[in-house]
Structure 1
Amino acid sequence: MKRAAGLKAASLLVLGVVLIVIVSVLSVLYGSKDISYITVWNALVHFDPDNIDHQIILTSRIPRVAGALLIGAFLAVSGALMQGMTRNYLASPSIMGVSDGSVFAITLCMVFLPGTSSMTMILYSLAGSALGAALVFGISRLVPGGASPLTMAVLGTIIGTFLGGVSQALSVYFQVSQDISFWYNARLHMMDPAVIKLAIPFAVIGLSLGILMSRPVTLLSLGEETAAGLGLKVTAVKGLTMLSVVLLTGISVAIAGKIAFVGLIIPHITRLLIGQDYRKIVPFAAFFGALFLAACDLFSRFINYPFETPVGVVTALFGVPFFLYLVKTRGGSQA
């Protein structure tokens, strides 16, 4: 039995890697301007700074697919950790107000600290993620039945809408709405490679924490009382798990803006394929999340060709029906 499960996991891993490579290659080749294989190869081994195609490949296409893979992995891991920790099948950064908190903090940064550095922007995004999570989980404790999936989803939506409304009001009043629109309508082709580099240390810490917390989260997914009975320090585990979620979500928003539903869909698919052990769910969710967002980004280039469609539109095409399916089939029960 274990051998069969190991073989299945290995097969999925190999298939995931192959698909990621294929999608990555296609993402570099195709867009508003198609570029030949030979041109891509020459750009990699014989870069010519005067060649516009070479510039597009190295400064736009490759950073874009790299960013999509990283962000997809970060959001999927965040969603998996949140769902396991709360036993809430609707938990995800975009639904629970974590992403909206990041955008709110970035808005404050751009309004009151114009011209700030990319690192400061990342730090504000991280603080905003923590704020959004604290508001949703804090208010849920004050509301009767606040721990139920539907109630928390509603609270997250209300708080996210409130933070979004305040952000838009501030951006209009201080005339920075065009700058803020990037973070609400994520466009991966507008990512700054320098921000990606600055975010890597935070990503390493966040992913490391996520992997470290994977076993305790497996116990938490059985219920807090059961986990405590097995000797788990529930409060400490929840704190470290949320720190991982805040780090991964905050840097994702700082890099490319708010992208919804990746953290909702991918953990469910991963559990269906891998099982309930978060020691496997966390790394596989990262692989599947990276593949999903990169594929959505590739698809977004051809919906309204040759114009770019925000990748959030594509993820919503999959995410909204999936969300409604979960509500219909699972109701208000906890996982």
Structure 2
Amino acid sequence: MKLTLKPIVLSFSIFLAIAVMLIISFCLGTTNYSVQQVFDAFFSYQNTESQNIIRDIRVPRELGALLVGAALACSGAIMQGVTKNALADPALLGLNAGAAMMISIAMAVFKETNFLLLMTAGFLGAVIGGTLVMVIGSSRRGGFNTMRIVLAGAAISALLTALAEGIALFFRLNQSITFWSAGGVAGTTWQQLKFAAPVILIIIVIASLTGRQLTALSLGEEMAQGLGVNTHRIRVIFSVMTMLLAGVAVSLVGSLAFVGLMVPHIVRLLVGTDYRLILPFSALVGGLSIVAADTVARLAGESPLGAIISIIGVPFFIYLVRKDGKLL
């Protein structure tokens, strides 16, 4: 695909904004550091306390925020294309709640859990939650109905969240599960990123490279088939990608809503309706937004990241509902 000047300029601007935001996030916190101290931690390492805090706590935390934002935003964009539902979001359609439930089960069953186990549990839970919502929210007569799927998502999310909390109470996992309920990137480690980063980045690249088929699918079943797209196979493949992205994101930082809803709509205003552009730019803008939100949360006394995002996300969701899924 031949890129026009606008995407090139836009991508450069977003990359620059991400770089600046990351540096700001490395500097600001309970203890503030100068830009020089941040650069010294990378290029003149002397094993001091401040350098260790920057390298081992703040850097993996913000890279985790970048990855999770990219995963959730790209996942939301894919869901909106597959279901032709402008209100689709991993959290609103049961994926995050399903992932959280399976993570609760994994923590209850296994005395010692590693991140790879939690990633697998998160993916399986996302599959369960997403499948239940799609089965209940669609029918042979009506097919995918926007409001029906949203209502099914709300019901299934409430059920799976209640199950996760019940498991946490029974097995006395309340303190551990609270993290996934509130959502947050505090505590993200290099070991976790080693497993999560390749999965998220590979899926985003594959999805972006096959975005033309998702664009065709978003135009409608008959149009896609007329363009030679195997709609059933493409829907299954992209759905699996969505569940993988959501499952890994939840296992990494917990359940965060509205990122996958808001970001794709904003990106469409910038690049149009071609999913070859929507998916990679959603990943970039999503990553930038979560890094910014986490920086605000940290400056606000380690406020829950999910609460910071919801302050913007809830009004955005209500606005979309009133506008029948159209941003403008």
TM-score class, shorter: over 0.9
1:26 is matched with 24
Note if 1:157 corresponds to 2:154.
yes
Contact 1:213 1:241 in 2 (8 A): no
| CA displacement at 1:202 relative to structure 2 | 2.0
1:71 is matched with 68
| CA displacement at 1:11 relative to structure 2 | 1.8
2:205 is matched with 208
Residue among 178, 185, 195 paired with 1:188:
185
1:327 is matched with 321
Note if 1:61 corresponds to 2:58.
yes
5 Å-filtered alignment, 1:101-112, equals 101-112=98-109
Distance, in Å, in 2 between the alignment partners of 1:228 and 1:42 is 56
2:303 is matched with 309
Contact 1:74 1:249 in 2 (8 A): yes
Give secondary structure in 1 for the equivalent of 2:323: helix
| CA displacement at 1:15 relative to structure 2 | 1.2
| CA displacement at 1:46 relative to structure 2 | 2.6
- Tell me the amino acid that sits aligned with residue 45 of structure 1: F
- Tell me the amino acid that sits aligned with residue 294 of structure 1: V
Contact 1:96 1:155 in 2 (8 A): yes
Residue among 250, 254, 259 paired with 2:251:
254
Residue among 27, 31, 41 paired with 1:43:
41
Distance, in Å, in 2 between the alignment partners of 1:183 and 1:321 is 23
Distance, in Å, in 1 between the alignment partners of 2:130 and 2:217 is 18
Q: How far does the alpha carbon of each residue in 1:74-114 deviate from its partner, in whole angstroms, 9 at most, with x for none?
A: 11110111101111000010111011111010000001112
TM-score normalised to the size of structure 1? Answer: 0.93
Give secondary structure in 2 for the equivalent of 1:190: coil
- Gaps of at least 5 residues in structure 1 are none
| CA displacement at 1:215 relative to structure 2 | 0.8
Distance, in Å, in 2 between the alignment partners of 1:270 and 1:73 is 13
Contact 2:28 2:299 in 1 (8 A): no
- Tell me the amino acid that sits aligned with residue 32 of structure 1: T
Distance, in Å, in 2 between the alignment partners of 1:217 and 1:37 is 42
- Gaps of at least 5 residues in structure 2 are none
| CA displacement at 1:38 relative to structure 2 | 2.7
1:7 is matched with 5
Note if 1:218 corresponds to 2:215.
yes
1:318 is matched with 312
5 Å-filtered alignment, 1:253-272, equals 253-272=250-269
| CA displacement at 1:145 relative to structure 2 | 4.6
Q: Which region of structure 1 is more displaced relative to structure 2, 175-184 or 35-44?
A: 35-44
1:300 is matched with 297
| CA displacement at 1:63 relative to structure 2 | 0.6
Going from structure 1 to structure 2, the CA distance change for 1:146 and 1:152 (only over 3 Å counts) comes to: farther
Contact 2:204 2:279 in 1 (8 A): no
- Tell me the amino acid that sits aligned with residue 242 of structure 2: V
Structure 1 stretches of at least 4 aligned residues deviating more than 6 Å after TM superposition:
none
Q: Which region of structure 1 is more displaced relative to structure 2, 125-134 or 198-207?
A: 198-207
- Tell me the amino acid that sits aligned with residue 319 of structure 1: G
Distance, in Å, in 2 between the alignment partners of 1:38 and 1:277 is 41
Aligned residues: 326
Q: CA RMSD in A?
A: 1.8
Contact 2:138 2:145 in 1 (8 A): no
| CA displacement at 1:124 relative to structure 2 | 0.8
Contact 2:208 2:277 in 1 (8 A): no
Distance, in Å, in 2 between the alignment partners of 1:297 and 1:138 is 35
- Tell me the amino acid that sits aligned with residue 269 of structure 1: I
| CA displacement at 1:191 relative to structure 2 | 1.6
Distance, in Å, in 2 between the alignment partners of 1:327 and 1:214 is 26
Going from structure 1 to structure 2, the CA distance change for 1:109 and 1:295 (only over 3 Å counts) comes to: same
Give secondary structure in 2 for the equivalent of 1:301: helix
Residue among 163, 168, 171 paired with 1:166:
163
| CA displacement at 1:192 relative to structure 2 | 2.6
Contact 2:138 2:149 in 1 (8 A): no
